[in-house]
Amino acid sequence: MSMMEAIEAAYPLVKMFSLPGVGNENTRRHIELGVKGEPEQVESAFGKMLAGLDRFKAEYANG
C-alpha cells in the first residue's frame, strides 16, 4: 500500500492528490502533493503526509 493509499484509508473523509509540474527555466520538475476534504481530517492527514516525506528524506516546500 502506498503512503497516499494508507493516508486515505486512515482518513476516509479526505482525498489526496498529486500533480506533476514540468518546471521551466526558473523551477525544476516537481510534484505538487495535497490533501482535500473534511477540515479536521485534512489537518491530521496533511501532518501524516509531511511525516512520510520526512521519512523518505524528500525535499519539499510547505506553502
User: Range of 15's domain?
Assistant: 3-22+29-47
Give how many domains the chain has, as a whole number: 1
Full-model pTM: 0.85
The CA distance from 46 to 35, in Å, is 6
Give tens-digit pLDDT for 3-33.
999 999 999 999 999 999 998 999 899 999 9
* Buried-state track 9-33, b at ≥16 Cβ within 10 A, e below 16: eebeebebeeeeeeeeeeeeeeeeb
DSSP 3-state of 54:
helix
Query: For residue 18, is it within any domain?
Result: yes
Residue 52 CB contacts under 8 Å (≥ 6 apart), including other chains? 3, 7
Strand residues in 1-46 grouped as ranges (E): 14-21, 30-37
Task: Supply the pLDDT for residue 62.
Answer: 83
In this predicted model, what pLDDT tens digit does every residue of 28-47 receive, in sequence order? 999 999 999 999 999 999 99
